[in-house]
Structures are given as structure tokens and as C-alpha cells.
Structure 1
Amino acid sequence: MIEVLAALQPLVIGAVLIWSARIKLFSRHAAAIANRSALVRLIGQRRALPAYRVLGGIELTLGALLLLPPALRLEAIAATGLAVGFLAYLTYARRVAPTSSCGCLSAQSTPVSGRSLTRAGLLVAAGALAVLATGGWWTALAARPLTGAAVLLAELAVVVALSPELDAAWLLPLRRLRAQLTHPLRGGSGVPLLATVQQLQLSQSYRRVAPLLRSDVREHWDDGDWRFVGHAALYQGRPVTAVFAVPMTDPEPDAVRVAVVDDATGQTLLSLAGTPQPAGPRLAVVPA
């Protein structure tokens, strides 16, 4: 099984590289993508687009070499080195320019996230595994077509799932389908979601974090006597989710609670209880 996995990795890496090169070389939005990326911070705005194009050329060349015979170990080593470079660049971008766009697989502007870093790490692992291959991917696929096809579909599905810039192609349609099937405005407990939203918008907790919010209701779920409502937000320059806890048995707005959770780490950065204290210092929320 390891031999099959190793032999199929050049096909996976090559497909990803060629898809990425397509954006860099042929997209009419390439200049805008480059200017939104951390390349501007790294090498300057004048050199960002040429470097972006050169990287696309390297990706296209190496991707084609990986897909075409013969299967050379040097190609796998080069792919591993390129993936390590991607991982280092994304780590740099996440640290020094957290709002910059990845510019990897789509013209969609999406900041570097934990998913992007995990995808780059997956490509590093795939490249290292490809170095161990003793034959070409076409040989492995011909010998075990069902197993090979299953492995390829699974790996490509993981790559897509780890690509925030591709969410519009699959994740948003799934969310729309869920909304059509579950009728979220009705709510799962018989309490209309609209009533819950009205209650939380009248609360002190909502008013204190309102400057941070960047979306309407993105998701909601019921747990016992509580309904949890999530909004996309930005806190101290990092993408977060503001999760409001609204009691379904208590219509008072002051009973609403909120927690601000870091999207990348899951850490709670800010938590506000429902009923404000009558005295004492107040926790200040600085708008992003």
C-alpha cells in the first residue's frame, strides 16, 4: 500500500501545482492578487507581480515534469523543496501580514489561515513520500485502479477542504442547501431565529462587540435551553468568530452572553457575561 501511495504522490502534487500556476500565469486578476499578497511586504510592490509570474512558471514546469514520464526522483525532491518554500512563505505571511491574501489556488482574496498552512504541510509530506517511489504513477494506477482512484480522490478532497479560497465552489453551496433543508429562520426548538437575533441585538453584550462584527448570522445551533449564534468578526487584526449564547427560556436581553474565539487556534480571546456588574471597571473593546 505504501508503494502505491508513494507512486501516486507526483500525480497529486503535479495537479495542484498546475492548478496554482494557472492562476498566476493566465488569470486577468494576477496583478491584483500579487499586490494583495505578502510578496509586497517581502520584496516590494514593483517586484511582486514579476515574482508571482516566475513562481507560476516554476509551478507549471515542475507540475508537468511530475505528470509526464519518466518518473525521476529528482523531480520529487524538487517538489518537496518547493512545498517547503511554500510553507515558509505562508508562515512568514501569517506572521508579518496576517490580512494579506494567500494567492495560491484562486483569485479569491483569502488571508493565510491554519488551513492554508496545513495544506502546505500536506504537500511537504506528499513530496517526501514521492521521493520513496520506485515507479511511475501510471504504473501504480494501472496495477491497482480502484485503490489508486480512491487514494487520489481522497487526497484531492483533502486539498480542496484545506483551501479557503475554494470555499465558494463547494462549502457555500452546501450551506445554502442546509439552509433550504433545515429552514434556519424557524429554528430547531420552535423559537424563531429572528426572535433570537432581536433579543441579542438589544443586549449589552452585542453592543459591546458590535464594532468587531464583519458578517450577519453565519451559523446557529441549539444546546439545551441555549441557542448559540455565530458571527464572523475581526479582533486585534485576527479573524475570529463572535459566538452569542442566547437563553431560549429567558427573553431578557441582559441574559445574552458572548465569547470571541480565534478562528485559527480555537482560543477564547474575550468573554462577556450577560448581566453587567453594577460597579467596578468595565472591559474595553477596541474596534479593529
Structure 2
Amino acid sequence: MKVFVFSLFLFFGISQVAFAQVPYFLEGLWKQEGKPVYEQWNKNLDGNLKGFSYKLQSNGQMLVTEYLDLQQEGEILVYKATVLDQNQGKTISFPGTVSGNSYTFINAQHSFPKGISYQKISQDTLQVLVFGGERQFTMRMVRVNPENKTSTSSTSYDAKLADSLGADAYGMKSYFLVVLQTGSNKTTDKEFINTGFRGHMENMDKLVKENKLIIAGPFGKNDDQFRGIFILQNLKTIEEAQALVNTDPAVKAGLLSFKIYPWYGSAALPMYLPYSEKISKEKP
């Protein structure tokens, strides 16, 4: 996991002071000096910050490595990280403390990192530290395209539409990808199976109406027992997504199991929904 740097004093000598507010100076795109590593932070409608880290590959494609959140929980600001190849995709929380322009988040129970710090050096420069035990990494990050530089802005940008879709500066947003698999219940009771999957379809319709489910579809025959996928939106955590999928009658009955992954895609993805009924001659 990446982060923002300080002296070890900030980890071991910082006073336990609750955050007065979310550090909005993080909003924008940041690049690690000397490496094609970036972090993008955006303010949500609820006033919290949501971000993600990525590497820019040689072919120009973004490789997302983790999803980040800075959420006010009572009087404490909590840093949450979901690293795609660690912790089995689970989100790890780091409660925060503050000292001047230095923000430190610590979870002593986590194996590595145990602490993450951000220090504002200037409006366009951050110092970064990530540590745990004898291991630590430091780096400097600089803001990419500060607000007074607009040469890369799209001429067709529609701010009102972007805001309504929850889009970030790249027209993207975070979703949850659900992979449905064959469940542990191997019953051959056709009535039980039909009832479970009828409820499965009805529940999908319900989630669409609640503006939570935007994509669903089955896999073809495969050796991995993959049955289908959901893409869920307007959810803050994997735990919320898990609770939502667990309302599915086929999942409750053990006919289906599932795995959930954070996913980053176009914020315009839900716009196809109004047209889906117009091109469907029959309902499944």
C-alpha cells in the first residue's frame, strides 16, 4: 500500500487529537516523483473523500492497485484501503490523528502497513510515509495539473451530467463486481430450485429499482462454476455489498455463492438502463 511521508516521530510521538475536518487539500491527482504511480482523490456528495491508486503502464493503460476512502466517523477521520491483491480483497481501516499539517493513520493489528501518514508540504506537494515494524517506505508526491492549468480539459465536458452520475475527473467511479458461483446446496428438488431462482430474478428487479444493480448476466458453460455477474453501485463498502447480495433468495438457499471485488469503470455505465426495456422483446 502507498502513502504519504514523515519522520518516525509522527508515528510514535503524535498527540491523539480528533480531526476537525476531512483534509480536502488531497483533492486532485498526485504523482510519485520518479515513478509512474498516481493517486486520485475526489470529494463525495456526503463530504468524504474517495480515491484510488494506479500505475501507468508503458502502453498508456491504467492498472488500478487499490481503492481508498477518508471517512468522518463521529469525531475521528478513518482511512480505509482495499488493496486488490492483499487481505483477500477486504477493506482495512486505519483510525487517524492530526498534528498541524500532518495526518497519521494507525492500525497496530494489521501486519503491514501498521501506519500511514500524509504531510502537506505545500499546496502541490505531499510527503509520504508507510511503516510497520522495521519496514518503512517514504516518497514525495506532486500534484498533477493544478487548478490553474486546464490544457488537458475536455472541450465536451458536461459538469452537470458528471455530477449527477458521481463521476470523477476522468469520468469514472467505483463499483463492486460480484461473481456468482454454484453454491454448496446440491439439491435436485426442482420445485425448491425453481422457487429459489424465481426469487433471484425478482430480487434483481428490486435492486435495479433501488438504483443499486446496474449490470447482471449469466456466464456460458465453464469449468470454474461461474454462474453470472452483478455490478453494484452507490455502496460505500464491501460489507454493504455483501449484505445486499445476501438478500438474494438463491444465495440464502445455498444455490449460489459469490465473491465481491472493487471495480473502477465509466460513471456513464448506468445510462444504458433506460434503453434496455426498449430493446427487450420478451422478459427472461
Structure with greater strand share of residues = 2
Q: What TM-score does the superposition give when structure 2 sets the normalisation length?
A: 0.27
